Amino acid sequence: MAEGQSSLFDYMEFDREAKLEKDGGFVSHPLLEKRSVEWRDFQVELASEAAGSNLLVVVPTGLGKTLVALIAAAEMIKVTGKKVLFLAPTRPLVMQHLETFRKHLLIKSMALFTGSTPAAERKKLWFSNRVIFATPQVIGNDVAAKLYSMDDVAFCIFDEAHRAVGNYSYVNVALKCRDAGIRVLGLTASPGAKREKIEEILTALNIGKVEIRGREDEDVNEYVRNVDEEIVRVELSAGMKELLKPIDSLLHEKIVKLQKMGFLRYKKAEFVSRKDLLSVRAAVMARGKRGGYLFGAMHNSIMAMHAYHCSELLETQGIGPLRLYLERMAAAEKQTKTEKSFLNDERMKQVREMLAGEVSSHPKVEKLVELIRRQLAKKGDSLVMVFTQYRDTIEIIASALAGAGISYGRFIGQADRGKEKGMSQKEQKEVVSRFASRAFNVLVASSIGEEGIDVPDVEMVVFYEPIPSEIRYIQRKGRTGRSSAGRVSILLATGTRDEAYLRASSKREKKMNRIVRSLKED
């Protein structure tokens, strides 16, 4: 138990020895629908642990973390008679969890809290419902406004618990849970590859115990579906390589200038990353007053960032996204001095001239269409998810799929970007529903699709680009191999940042598993 954890639930000691009953392969519980929840030893074990102590559960995506929370929640309601609060970072995820509980839990007094629900209505719903599903921002704001208190909550579930760092709203709500002596369950497939970050999550959520299950564990192995992974390599075109030369020349020049000013000397210029460049800006900002020297460092670091982003866009996304990025910068009503300097650099003028006559797309696009056609040839009603980081790339992929006669849908976030509208919550829910019902074969998604889309029958996931984040890498892969065998194809441009990003995410995933298992044993 974490230091300072409330002893409010000490009276539950007797219950920790109790065993949930098994009914012909299903969980038998007075608050669960009869023969509704399949009995899986590891889920029941984790749920029992969660009812007895604050717990972080690390389980691969698709193995039923929500059912662990469901079983534990049913037991907590039975024992305490109090409320359960289920938090998730996005509204689509919140709604998904609500639907799962409605399907299996006999208690039907459940409510969904969103920012669009009037405050007076949320207050009423709080007092008239036993299980509340919400984003953390809503709960934090309501409690701060004293619409209600959390004193009548026995159990709080934090889905995607790896978000409980920094100033994210989970941290504030978890503090209120600690003060009220509320039992806490954190759920994640990927807490991160740094021990300090995982410990920050545990501290923020007041958790002293960690349980992890991997695909190789005996009690999980029988429920795991095989997922084949392949790296699909493509070569940049000659035109793309020519475009890279002036961009990389500008980037190298600015990095060398920063090194002469005393920054980034710990790396060779060719190995400086985006994170390194951001660290220069942070270091300059931390020094407060800016003289000519610090202004020059800031100017060069921002110029380098623009060049780095252009190079990365071209290597990993293609000519179209690079062209759009530069066009938006040039068309901005209020350009910064650095943006003007960047666009007026002779090398960037050369790039823009070259782009004007270049119409080819990234070779990944052609390969992507080929992969999907191959999958559909095997199984005509296959469901395929394609992930990419940029909305511009989504449009390019959509155009290519349409040209190939492949049915598709887009899945993006709610935020607008200039004249480009995001998707409303209703639109997001509708497109996922249509995808699940096979109204179209391919869902092209931005990062918003990495967390929580529960479509059990996705046969194939395609990464348009590798990503260095082990968390996002795991989340993307987890969209397939849920109810049947799956396949993951990662498109990689040879000799580019793609290779480094793939190595980074794979290495960090292995490191994460080692760290979490060591924390479990501590």
DSSP structure string for 391-417? HHHHHHHHHHHHHTT--EEEE--S--B
The 10s digit of each residue's pLDDT in 50-98 is 999 999 999 887 788 999 999 999 999 999 999 999 999 988 789 889 9
Q: Give φ, ψ of 232 to 5 degrees.
A: -110, 110
230 burial level (CB within 10 Å; 0-12, 13-18, 19+): exposed
In a domain, 510, yes or no: no
Phi-psi region for residue 2, left (φ > 0), alpha (ψ -120 to 50) or beta? beta
Q: At what angle do helices 41-52 and 65-80 cross, to 10 degrees?
A: 40
How many domains are contained in the chain?
3
pLDDT at 1: 33
**Residue 7's pLDDT band (cuts 50, 70, 90):** very low
Residue 517 domain flag:
no
CA angle 452, 456, 461 (to 5 degrees): 75
Same domain as 290, residue 211: no
The residue range of the domain holding 41 is 10-223
Question: pLDDT confidence of 313, banded at 50, 70, 90?
Answer: very high
The average pLDDT across 485-512 equals 91
- Clarify whether residues 350 and 373 are in a common domain: no
Task: Evaluate whether residue 2 is within a structural domain.
Answer: no
Question: Whole-model pTM?
Answer: 0.81
3-state SS of 420-438 is: ECCCCHHHHHHHHHHHHCC
Q: Is residue 372 part of a domain?
A: yes
Based on the fold, state whether residues 194 and 250 are members of the same structural domain: no
**Higher model confidence: residue 28 or residue 62?**
28
Verify that 277 and 338 share a domain, yes or no.
yes
What does DSSP assign to residue 9?
T
Half-sphere exposure of 75 (CA within 13 A, CB side): 29
Residue 482: what pLDDT? Answer: 66
Is 50 exceeded by the pLDDT of residue 10? no
Q: Please report, in angstroms and rounded to a whole number, the separation of the first and last CA atoms in the chain.
A: 12
Which pLDDT does position 19 carry in this prediction?
53
Q: Are residues 336 and 366 in the same domain?
A: no
In a domain, 514, yes or no: no
Are 283 and 367 in the same domain?
no
Do 194 and 251 belong to one domain? no
Q: Are residues 120 and 152 in the same domain?
A: yes
Residue 114 tokens, joined: 């969103």
For residue 516, how many C-alpha atoms fall within 13 Å in the half-sphere facing its CB?
A: 25
Do residues 481 and 227 make contact, with C-beta atoms less than 8 angstroms apart? Answer: yes
CATH code where residue 485 lies: 3.40.50.300
Tell me: do 350 and 392 sit in the same domain: no
Q: For the segment 16-27, what is each residue's pLDDT rounded down to a tens digit?
A: 334 567 878 899
- Burial state string for 236-245 with b = 16 or more CB within 10 A and e = fewer than 16: bbeebeebbe
Distance of CA 19 to the CA centre of its chain: 35
pLDDT of residue 289: 57
List, in order, residues 6 or more apart from 519 with CB less than 8 Å away: 195, 198, 199, 202, 210
- Given a cut of 50, whether residue 14 has pLDDT beyond it is no
